[in-house]
Amino acid sequence: MGLLADIQEGLSETFLEDFSDIVTTFDFVVVTDQGVYDADKDAYTPTEVLSSCRGIFSVVENKIVDGINILQKDEMVIVNGADLPASPFVEPLIGMEIVLSNNVRYKIVDPGKIMGGDSTVILYNMQIRTSGNGIRS
């Protein structure tokens, strides 16, 4: 294995073992506009691609809330880069969401990629936002 693969494997083990009490499982949903072609509408039907992921959620610190780009209700989630599809943030995308088991839905405001030496993402430190109260249970 290469160094990046070793790091991602170590992160996966840490999420499963050492951080298991604070890790939340969720669905990462990517909606693309290149789905099934509908001849009647002469258009493609959007397709949802689901990936089961794990992450560590946290609130945004008050000192970085600016009320424009970062809101009081925003949260952060740290996700191992190996848990997401190869390139979830490439076009053509209609949207991306994180969906928890209680159906609380978050949109991705900023993917917060943390790169590892080349084009491989080691971690995502995503800024996320919900239109509801964002309560995880």
Residue ranges of domains in the chain, CATH in brackets: 3-129 (2.40.10)
Residue 137's pLDDT band (cuts 50, 70, 90): very low
- With contact defined as beta carbons under 8 Å apart, do 60 and 76 qualify? yes
Give tens-digit pLDDT for 17-62. 888 899 999 988 877 766 778 888 888 777 777 888 889 999 998 8
User: What is d(CA 94, CA 48) in angstroms, rounded to the nearest whole number?
Assistant: 10
- Give the pLDDT score at 91: 57
- With contact defined as beta carbons under 8 Å apart, do 89 and 49 qualify? no
